[in-house]
Every structure is written in structure tokens, then in C-alpha cells.
């Protein structure tokens, strides 16, 4: 699929907040999507202004997004899904409308399983092809992670979604039962990394480094370390050992981190994020 092919596809976002912005703005700014073929429904003036500045179409009506687009991203908060669908269902029933056809739905709603999405969306969509994915916000700077899964999307659908996400980071098709587990790392992980960045910067400030320099260098430490893991393909533990000279500064810092329980805390953070996603999944399976 060429970049020209991608520019011709009409893509919509129901919900124009942080995740939709990361995906849509990331692709528009990389000149992958034609903003004139992007439709966004949002309820806030701030997000309307954001998308208008990108030259995308903005509306208050979710139905307009579905009507005008071939690929629709569901990008609202998970617990808002029924609030989004109920007016569409009412319009459909009151006006005896035909179901929308030939639509690919890409859900970024944390925890909502494919079978629930099929059940809820089939009221207004005829045989919807659905891909469930877990992206993260660094897509807006081209460094995202997206894992996705489907039980009825065709090969072209999967290739399209993989291609789009690959332009703004790394993308991987995985079994659905791994989505919540990986999402606890990939989707929530940026928040953990920001906390680590701030903590490293605070440590440098405590030692007398000016705040702007401390923050800049702390962020670059994470960027550089991440690239080392990806590009060398060495185990993080081995890379750590290469930095830690006997009796040196780095091993002294590592000791302080181990005493503080950093390793266990990070593992617990991922577990907590996964457990929360599993709570969403359990809720929607029984609702």
C-alpha cells in the first residue's frame, strides 16, 4: 500500500482527545493522511480548534463521521461507549435507517473485548469488521507502540492498520488475550517513563544542576538507553553491567535504586495497569 493510497482513504475519529490526536496528528504531520479526508467528532472547543488547525473536518455528530468515512477509530473513554452508541441507535430505529455497510472499525478502547464490540456495533453497522488495538501517545512524535488483534478483519484491513501505525512507531499483531497484558506496559508505560524522567531530573537538581538542563538530559538518557536496547538487541541487564564499573558511580546508583525497591515498584505498576484493564474487560462482558 503506497502513501498515495493512504491519502485517498477517508478516516474518522469518534472522540478527538489525546489518543485520537496522537494517531491523527502524527499521521497528518508526517504527510501520510490527507487532512481533507479526516473527520473528527468532538465535544470540546479546545479539540475542535486543534483539529481545525490540522485542516481536518470537525463535527459534533458521530453519525457524520460514520457516514463520511471508510475507517472509523473509536477513541472515547471506555465507559463512554454506550453514551456514544445510544443516540446513534435511537436515530437508526426512529428513522428506520439502513445499517451502515462496509465499515472498518478500529477500537482503541482499553479493556473492551472484540465480542462485546461486535454485539454493540452490529445494531447500527452491517457485518462490521473490527480491529481492537492498544496504542500509546508517543505516536504523535513518531515513536509509538501499537498492538492489535481481530477475529473478522480481512488481510487488507490488517495490512492497512499495521501500515498506518508503523509510520508513527512500531506495530504488532498479537492474540487478543495479550492486549491487556501488553497494554499495561506499552499504553501506560509512557506515564511511568515520565515519572522516571522527572525523578532523574529531580536528583540532578538536588545536586545543583539547573532544572531545564536536568530535564533535558534526563529525557535524553531514556531515549538513548531505549535505542541501545532496540538497536544492539542486547539484554538490558548486560547493557547495565557494561556501564557499571567495579566500585564506580553507576553501581553505587544501582545499589541505591535496589534498596529503594525501584525494580519491584515498576513491576507492580505494570501489574496494576493490566489489572485495571482486566476490570474493564470483566465489566463489559457482564454489562
Q: Which residues are annotated as a binding site for NADPH?
A: 62
- How many Cβ atoms are within 10 Å of 198's Cβ, its own excluded? 14
Known binding residues for NADP(+) are 14-19, 42, 75-78
β-strand partners of 134: 147
Q: Measured in whole angstroms, how far is the alpha carbon of residue 85 from the centre of its chain?
A: 21
Q: What's 188's DSSP letter?
A: T
Residue bearing cell 490488517 = 158
- Residues in CB range of 109: below 8 A, 6 or more apart: 74, 75, 76, 77, 78, 81, 117, 132
Known binding residues are 14-19, 42, 62, 75-78
Residue bearing cell 482527545 = 17
Dist CA 60 CA 48 (whole Å): 9
Dist CA 178 CA 245 (whole Å): 38
Spatial CA neighbour of 185 closest among 240, 150, 226: 226
Terminal CA-to-CA distance of the chain, rounded, Å? 39
Cβ atoms of 137 and 19 within 8 Å: the answer is yes
Kindly write down the DSSP assignment for every residue of 27-84, as one continuous string: HHHTT-S-GGGEEEE-S-HHHHHHHHHTT-EEES-HHHHHHH-SEEEE-S-GGGHHHH
Spatial CA neighbour of 66 closest among 23, 117, 12: 12
Amino acid at each position: 500500500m503506497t502513501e498515495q493510497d493512504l491519502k485517498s482513504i477517508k478516516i474518522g475519529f469518534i472522540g478527538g482527545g489525546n489518543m485520537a490526536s496522537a494517531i491523527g496528528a502524527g499521521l497528518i504531520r508526517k504527510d501520510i493522511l490527507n487532512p481533507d479526508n479526516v473527520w473528527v467528532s468532538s465535544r470540546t472547543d479546545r479539540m475542535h480548534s486543534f483539529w481545525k488547525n490540522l485542516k481536518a473536518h470537525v463535527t459534533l455528530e458521530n453519525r457524520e463521521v460514520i457516514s463520511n468515512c471508510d475507517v472509523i477509530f473509536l477513541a472515547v473513554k471506555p465507559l463512554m461507549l454506550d453514551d456514544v452508541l445510544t443516540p446513534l441507535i435511537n436515530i437508526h430505529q426512529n428513522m428506520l435507517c439502513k445499517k451502515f455497510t462496509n465499515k472498518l472499525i478500529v477500537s482503541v478502547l482499553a479493556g473492551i473485548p472484540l465480542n462485546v464490540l461486535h454485539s454493540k456495533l452490529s445494531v447500527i453497522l452491517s457485518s462490521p469488521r473490527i480491529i481492537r488495538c492498544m496504542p500509546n501517545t508517543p505516536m504523535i512524535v513518531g515513536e509509538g507502540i501499537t498492538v492489535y488483534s481481530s477475529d473478522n478483519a480481512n488481510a487488507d484491513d490488517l495490512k492497512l492498520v499495521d501500515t498506518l501505525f508503523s509510520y508513527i512507531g512500531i506495530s504488532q499483531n498479537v492474540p487478543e488475550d495479550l492486549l491487556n497484558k501488553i497494554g499495561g506496559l506499552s499504553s501506560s508505560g509512557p506515564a511511568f517513563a515520565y515519572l522516571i524522567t522527572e525523578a532523574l531530573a529531580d536528583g540532578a537538581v538536588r545536586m545543583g544542576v539547573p532544572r531545564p538542563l536536568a530535564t533535558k538530559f534526563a529525557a535524553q538518557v531514556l531515549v538513548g538507553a531505549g535505542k541501545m536496547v532496540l538497536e544492539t538487541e542486547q539484554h538490558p541487564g548486560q547493557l547495565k553491567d557494561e556501564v557499571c564499573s567495579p566500585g564506580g558511580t553507576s553501581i553505587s546508583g544501582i545499589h541505591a535504586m535496589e534498596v529503594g525497591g525501584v525494580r519491584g515498584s515498576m513491576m507492580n505498576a505494570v501489574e496494576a495497569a493490566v489489572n485495571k484493564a482486566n476490570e474493564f474487560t470483566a465489566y463489559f462482558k457482564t454489562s
